[in-house]
Amino acid sequence: MKVVNSRNGGSFLVWTLTVQLVLCGSGVYATNSTKNCKLAYESPSERKVLNRLEPLAHKNFTVVSNTADGNYTYVFQLCGDAAGIPGAGAVQVEDKKPTSKTVIGSYNSTRAIGGSDWVMLIYEKGDAYDAHCSKEMRKAIFMISCNRKIDVGKLEVVLEDRDRLHECFYLFELDSSAVCPALSTQLSTGSIILIIGICLMAVYLIGGFLYQRLIVGAKGMDQFPNYAFWVEFGNLSADGCDFVCRSRNREEAPAYRGVSSEPLEEEQEERDDHLLPM
C-alpha cells in the first residue's frame, strides 16, 4: 500500500472524508426512506401522503403489550427492515419465544391514507394466521396523528382484532408533528400597508439625514430632512387642535366690580353730598 505524505495528498484525503460525511448527513446514502415502501396500488395521491412521513424514517419504534395470552413486543419501522427482517415493516416478538418473530405487516405492500392532520399507514401481507381470521395474512394499521408539541411520540398498541372471519388487523397509534399542517402566516392588507409606510418613513429619514449631513453640511437639528417644514407643520397642527378641541372662550370676559356689603341707599347718599348748596 502506498502512503501519501505530501500536503496535496493529505488535503485530498480530508476533502474526501468531508464530502462523505456531508453526503451521509444529507441522506444521499440513506436506504431506509419512504421511497423504499412499495404501494399496493401506486398512485400520486398515496405517494404524496407517504412522503409526509419522511421525518419518521430511519427510526425504530418499540412497544410492549401485556395481554392475557402473553407479553408481546412490537417493532415498527417506516419503510425499513423492522427487527432486521428484510421486507418486514412491523414485527411481533413473543417474550416466551424471543427467537420466534412474526411479521405482521410488510412495507412491500403499503397503503397510505391522509387527512389534514393525520395519516393512516397500512402494512399488508404479513405472516398468515395459524387458526384465526380464515388463515389470512396479517395486517398492521398505524394511526399517526398531529401533535405540535413533540417531534415523535411513543408507539402505543390499541388492539388486535382477530375475532372475525376476514380483514383482521393490528391497530397502533403514534403522535408526531410531521403530519401537522403548515401554519398560515398570511398578512392582512392593513399590516402590509403599515409595513410599507414604516419602510418608506425609515428611508426618508435616513436618506434625508445623510443628505443634510454629508452634502449640505448641516449641523444639529438642521440635519433632519425638511426641518423647517415639519416645525411649521407641528405649529399649525397645535393651533388647529387648540381651536377645535379647547372649550374656553377666546375673548376676555369684561371685568366686574365687586358687590359691596353695605346697603345701596347709604352709598347713594354719600355720592349726592357734593350737590347740596353751601
Residues 90 and 42 both lie in one domain: yes
Overall domain count for the chain: 2
157 and 41: one domain?
yes
Residues 222, 98 share a domain: no
78 with 198, same domain: the answer is: no
Q: Do 114 and 167 lie in a common domain?
A: yes
In sign, the C-alpha dihedral spanning 146, 152, 157, 162 is: positive
Dmax (CA) for the chain in angstroms is: 154
Within a domain: 25: no
Task: Note whether 227 and 106 are same-domain residues.
Answer: no
Considering 149, 176, 203, which residue would you say is the last residue of a domain? 176
One-character DSSP codes across 176-242: EGGGSPPPP-PPPHHHHHHHHHHHHHHHHHHHHHHIIIIII---GGGGSTTHHHHHHHHHHHHHHHH
Residue 17 falls inside a structural domain: no
Indicate whether 262 belongs to any domain. no
Whether residues 47 and 140 share a domain: the answer is yes
| Per-residue confidence in pLDDT tens, the chain, 278 aa | 344 444 444 454 445 555 454 444 444 444 448 899 999 999 999 999 999 999 998 889 999 998 877 889 999 999 999 999 999 999 999 888 888 899 999 999 999 999 999 999 999 999 999 888 999 999 999 999 999 999 999 999 999 898 888 999 999 999 999 999 988 777 788 888 999 999 999 998 898 888 888 888 888 888 888 888 888 888 888 888 877 776 556 555 555 555 555 555 555 555 555 555 55
123, 124, 129, 135: CA torsion to nearest 10: 160
- Do 67 and 149 reside in the same domain of the chain? yes
Residues 6+ apart with CB under 8 A from 46: 39, 111, 112, 113
Are 39 and 109 members of one domain? yes
120 and 213 co-located in one domain: no
Q: Which structural domain, as residue segments, surrounds residue 198?
A: 189-241
Find the CATH number of the domain harbouring 88: 2.70.130.10
Q: Judge if 202 and 231 occupy the same domain.
A: yes
- Is residue 22 included in any domain, yes or no? no
CA-based torsion, 246, 251, 252, 258: positive or negative: negative
Grouping H, G, I as helix, E, B as strand and the rest as coil, residue 140 is strand
